């Protein structure tokens, strides 16, 4: 071997390519740095890295459930433009990623990239780089979540929002059409109202205290007497929880009941118990810097 670990690190710094790709390039070029860069470029890896610097805030939030119905996955994969997000090749790649997560249960995105992609001999990372080259845009697997048990999945707005929900119930109840309809309705509620927490117990103590402080100050500013301030704060805190906690929210399809009351009514109807235990909601591009295209500049650069 005519190179050291430092050489591998230097090549990685220079090209942005993965450690194993850099090691292979140096092996193939007998330690010659310039030849190693050429090797990576010939393989298209350096080109993929160049694209990786561009903002990817479009894409898709995709959710799906396994064939057995006992594993649900939600994943966000970003691209630079909405046009690419609608591309069949891009959508197939997203589904392959979701299937890989279902069957191999990787710990995080880094672990997913090293997995062998379902139905392929390539790793997810190699497949990703291939898609960047063939599609011609930066593509990033941003995040995913996975639940096992009594689960459901829901995609809203053609991939704008992806939701998965986990429930605590029996296999017998989970297999009924009544439960499936209920679970789907809960997932739609999460997509539409975007609750911050499952229930009041899940709200951090500091968040409760902060809200209490704000509400108390509001009441003082309104000139309400101190002896009734505490009761008013309690009432307004209750209203606050009804807005941010899923089980306390007004059920969108029947305003006469909360999500918890809807859950209890379905459980009674099906002759058992149902509890919502967890959910994940991804919205495409949430919190990401959006790419701002300047059409005039783009035309000017093409003319040059």
Q: Is the pLDDT reported for residue 295 higher than 50? A: no
pTM of the model: 0.76
- Residues 123 and 240: their CA atoms lie apart, in Å, by 46
Residue 216 pLDDT: 84
* Partners of 282 in the β-ladder: 162
Query: Exposed, middle or buried by CB within 10 Å (0-12, 13-18, 19+), for 44?
Result: middle
DSSP 202: G
Nearest to 199 by CA among 109, 301, 279, 296: 279
Tell me the average pLDDT of the chain.
Answer: 88
CA dihedral 111, 112, 114, 117 (to 10 degrees): 160
Banded model confidence at residue 46, pLDDT cuts 50, 70, 90: low
Percent of the chain with pLDDT over 90: 59
Spatial neighbors of 54 by CB under 8 A, at least 6 apart, are: 80, 137, 138, 291
Within 10 angstroms of residue 127's Cβ, the number of other Cβ atoms is: 18
Residue 146 pLDDT: 98
Of the candidate ranges 36-45, 51-60, 121-130, the one whose mean pLDDT is the lowest:
51-60
- Region 3-32 average pLDDT: 84
Distances (CA, A) of 297 to 129, 247, 292, 302, 304: 28, 50, 11, 9, 11
Contact 272, 170 (CB under 8 A): yes
Banded model confidence at residue 39, pLDDT cuts 50, 70, 90: confident
- Region 90-112 average pLDDT: 97
Spatial neighbors of 84 by CB under 8 A, at least 6 apart, are: 58, 90, 135, 137, 139
Contact 232, 219 (CB under 8 A): yes
Residue 9 pLDDT: 83
- Region 263-284 average pLDDT: 97
- Region 265-270 average pLDDT: 98
């Amino acid at each position: 071997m005519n190179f050291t670990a430092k050489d591998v690190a230097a090549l990685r710094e220079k090209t942005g390519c993965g450690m194993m790709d850099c090691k292979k390039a140096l092996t193939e070029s007998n330690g010659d740095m310039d030849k190693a860069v050429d090797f990576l470029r010939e393989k298209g890896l350096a080109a993929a890295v160049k694209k990786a610097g561009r903002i990817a805030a479009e894409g898709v939030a995709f959710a799906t459930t396994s064939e057995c119905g006992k594993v649900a996955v939600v994943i966000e994969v970003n691209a630079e433009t909405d046009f690419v997000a609608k591309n069949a090749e891009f959508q197939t790649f997203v589904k392959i990623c979701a299937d890989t997560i279902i069957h191999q249960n990787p710990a995080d995105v880094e672990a997913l990239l090293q997995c062998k992609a379902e139905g392929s001999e390539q790793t997810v990372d190699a497949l990703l780089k291939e898609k960047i080259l063939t599609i011609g845009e930066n593509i990033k697997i941003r995040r995913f979540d996975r639940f096992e048990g009594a689960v459901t999945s829901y995609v809203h707005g053609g991939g704008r929002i992806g939701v998965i929900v986990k429930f605590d119930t029996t296999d017998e109840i989970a297999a009924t059409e009544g439960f499936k309809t209920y679970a789907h309705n809960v997932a739609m509620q999460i997509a539409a109202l975007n609750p911050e927490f499952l229930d009041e117990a899940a709200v951090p103590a500091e968040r409760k205290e902060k809200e209490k402080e704000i509400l108390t100050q509001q009441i003082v500013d309104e000139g309400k007497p101190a002896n009734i301030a505490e009761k008013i704060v309690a009432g307004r805190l209750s209203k606050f929880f009804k807005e941010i906690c899923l089980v306390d929210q007004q059920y969108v399809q029947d305003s006469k009941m909360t999500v918890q009351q809807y859950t209890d009514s379905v459980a009674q109807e099906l002759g058992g118990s149902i509890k919502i235990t967890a959910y994940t909601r991804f919205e495409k591009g949430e919190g990401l810097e959006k790419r701002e295209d300047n059409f005039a500049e783009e035309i000017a650069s093409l003319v040059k």
